[in-house]
Amino acid sequence: MLKEKKFWIILGLLVLAAIVFMHVYFFSHEEESHKFVVDMDPEPLVTDEIDLSLVGYGAKGALEDDDLTIMDMLTYAVQDEYLAHGEYEEIINLYGSVKPYSNIVLSEETHLSYLKEVYKAYDLNFPADESDSHLVIPISLLEAAETGVQAEIDNIAMYNKFLKYDLPQNVLDVFTALRDASENHLKAFQKQVDKLS
């Protein structure tokens, strides 16, 4: 009887480990297609590229800004990734570890790490997270999904705007990777909206 019980416990743990492995593998595999190698010794940015003149916060600020420097673009990108991470984290706190938020919040951490690498390559100070005062906390999972859709639409539009500029390769690569990841997130949120409507 005791051996049989141990057998089922071990089998259950193995099945659980296999499920976790598959989830991590497939989730990581999706993000792998967006990875790039950061040149840690790029051409330095010139003074007018590192001037900071923001007109707002995150994607909404970037979309209103008609005089973007590379520093402006990097800052808006960091702000928007912080904002997305903060909002998805709050949704998880309110509604539990539900998908797609539980997956996408981890992606946002990866996106911030990509941006940190670019900042490091140019020897720039990485901005602190000041997204708290900009968070929009939804009152239902449907509203959360709708908010996610709009956030990703704005995020994609921001990166598309940035990609029209003549950018250093490191910056071009990170913006392209983050734009492509947001397109995947948009599909996940739209699927949620369709399911909950």
Locate the domains of the chain by residue range. Answer: 1-32, 39-196
pLDDT in tens, 81-127: 999 989 888 888 888 888 888 778 778 888 898 999 999 999 999 99
Q: Per the CATH hierarchy, to which homologous superfamily does domain 39-196 belong?
A: Ferritin, core subunit, four-helix bundle (1.20.1260.10)
CA distance 114 to 107: 11
Cα angle 65, 83, 189; round to 5: 105
CA distance 103 to 97: 9
> Cα 12 to the chain's mean position, in Å?
33
Q: Tokens for 89, please give them.
A: 């984290």
Query: Cβ of 6: how many Cβ atoms within 10 Å?
Result: 10
pLDDT at 13: 52
**CB–CB of 152/180 below 8 Å?**
no
pLDDT at 35: 59
Query: Cβ of 19: how many Cβ atoms within 10 Å?
Result: 10
What's the mean pLDDT in 47-61? 88
**CB–CB of 105/92 below 8 Å?**
yes
CA dihedral 183, 102, 34, 83 (to 10 degrees): 70
**CB–CB of 125/119 below 8 Å?**
yes
* pLDDT of 14 strictly over 70: no
Place 60 in a pLDDT band, splitting at 50, 70 and 90.
very high
Which of 3-17, 48-62, 70-84, 111-125 has the weakest average pLDDT?
Answer: 3-17
Give the total residue count for the chain. Answer: 197
Residues 6+ away with beta carbon under 8 Å from 32: none
CA distance 14 to 64: 52
Where does residue 184 rank: exposed (0-12), middle (13-18), buried (19+ CB within 10 A)?
middle
Q: What 3-state class would DSSP assign to 137?
A: coil
What's the mean pLDDT in 75-86? 93
* pLDDT of 28 strictly over 80: no
What's the mean pLDDT in 23-37? 45
pLDDT at 21: 43
